[in-house]
Amino acid sequence: MSSDNRPIGVFDSGLGGLTVVKDLAKILPGEDIVYLGDSARVPYGIKSLATIRRFAMEDAAFLGRFDPKLLVVACNTASAAAIDAITATAPCDVVDVVRPSAAAALAATDGPVGVVATEATVRSGAYQRALAADGAGREILAVACPLLVPIVEEGRDGDDPIVTHVLCDYLRNLQRLRPGAMVLGCTHYPLLAGPIGKLMGPATQLISSATAAALDVAHRLDAAGMRHARVEGGSLRCHTTDNPQRFAELGATFGGRPLDHVEYVGTDELEGLVARRPVKS
């Protein structure tokens, strides 16, 4: 049985991608993971697509230093804006979060599908296209929720009245739609699945983009015979472009485990990587 002991590279605009790491650790407990959270430049979702694309390419280039066997773009906004560019230059296979999530939503219901995501993700139309391609005739409603990422990054949870107030405003039209499934189209949003689920009701199945991506990673590794030889005890190495101590404190909530060591990498270092990076033929 073949194996590949190289790490999986994962990046996000901040802490949200650690929800993908959490699901990866459950499904693939033997895998080593290298994570980059670009917290100094979070949120990506309110920036232009060109800026998001540049940031995402820099993040991917940084993780390329670790010779990953697979790269996970654990950011819906970066997936929507830059997946083609990243795939064209990455030295390995690339997993995004949009396509697996759309497929999971369509499999969960024959009815309407809702999406909550960042402004940039909704504006890109990535989810709308992915859902329409395989779910012709479905009613699809994508709603931008720009305040949710900073709210989650501040450590607020579903018991916070501010969270409830913001969600009530954002989800109003989706509640009228009564979707059979709704994609949490940002890897920060699973931390708000409780209050979102209460507001949407039991008839709406919530689709975590983090879980969908992790399952896709497992499928690809198995298909290629690239799982780590070890079946458990995988390591997690984290990097952030902002405050490592704060990242570790909040990251434990996102990732479901203590983060004993978080390394700092400056955005100036990231900015110098893409120009030097060779393009994959």
**pLDDT tens-digit profile of 22-63?**
999 999 999 999 999 999 999 998 999 999 999 999 999 999
CATH fold of 99-210, please? Rossmann fold (3.40.50)
Catalytic member of 75, 92, 145, 238? 75
C-alpha span between 175 and 200 (Å, rounded): 6
- Does residue 161 have a cis bond before it (omega within 30 degrees)? no
The domain made up of 8-97+212-276 is a member of CATH 3.30.300.90? no
* 186 given a catalytic annotation: yes
C-alpha span between 158 and 110 (Å, rounded): 29
Q: What's the per-residue H, E or C state across the chain?
A: CCCCCCCEEEEECCCCCHHHHHHHHHHCCCCCEEEEECHHHCCCCCCCHHHHHHHHHHHHHHHHCCCCCEEEECCHHHHHHHHHHHHHHCCCEEECCHHHHHHHHHHHCCCCEEEEECHHHHHHCHHHHHHHHHCCCCCEEEEECCCHHHHHHCCCCCCCHHHHHHHHHHCHHHHHHCCCEEEEECCCHHHHHHHHHHHHCCCCEEEEHHHHHHHHHHHHHHHHCCCCCCCCCCCEEEEECCCHHHHHHHHHHHHCCCCCCEEECCHHHHHCCHHHCCCCC
Above 50 in pLDDT, residue 188? yes
C-alpha span between 41 and 177 (Å, rounded): 34
8-97+212-276 and 99-210 in the same fold: yes
Confidence bin at 219 (pLDDT 50/70/90): very high
Contacts with 250 (C-beta within 8 Å, 6 or more apart), sequence order: 15, 153, 155
Above 60 in pLDDT, residue 161? yes
The pLDDT assigned to 275 comes to: 62
Question: Where along the chain do its domains lie?
Answer: 8-97+212-276, 99-210
CB 37 within 8 A of CB 241: yes
The pLDDT assigned to 1 comes to: 54
C-alpha span between 81 and 79 (Å, rounded): 6
Catalytic member of 92, 145, 186, 238? 186
What value does the mean pLDDT of the chain take?
93
Give the pTM: 0.90
* 238 given a catalytic annotation: no
C-alpha span between 34 and 21 (Å, rounded): 9
* Rounded percentage of the chain residues whose pLDDT exceeds 70: 97
